[in-house]
Structure 1
Amino acid sequence: MATAQSGDPRDTLRAGLPDRYLSPEDLVTLFGLESVETVYTWRKKRTGPPGFRVGKHVRYDPAAVRAWAEQRMADDEAA
């Protein structure tokens, strides 16, 4: 599944799932966070999207990130 790569992970998620796993830096860009430390804090507290290690790197499945974000939006609407 090939998608156009513009460099901004938000573009690929809006058009469909990217054909690569996302890095913590991609999540910072996607959600407009101030630093990558927020992503690592989410991971440590198990409050963010599920990630996995590839060697020393953490990666995120775009489908899992989308599902996590949709669940957060649904939770906010229900509150």
Structure 2
Amino acid sequence: MGPPVGHAPNRVLQAGEGKVPPSRRGPGPDVDGGALIQGFPKEHRFVGSKTAIARQIGNAVPVQLAEALGRHIAHALVSTP
């Protein structure tokens, strides 16, 4: 099922094979911005190369997501007979 008639697909969230070509990528957040989006405090310091740091930030599970998931699992365990 494609996009509604008269609407173009979103450039950023477009699914497809391979990677999005550089000419179609928008600027992403810098390392500090990405860390804040993932829930790291401003004063958190990462160790490693720039690539390793970006990978650490990209692979992190935001604290709020982990907390919500944990609450949901705990509720399911308590509610299960």
TM-score (norm 1): 0.27
Structure having the higher strand fraction is 1
Structure number with larger C-alpha Rg: 2
Where relative contact order (Cα < 8 A, 6+ residues apart) is larger, the structure is 1
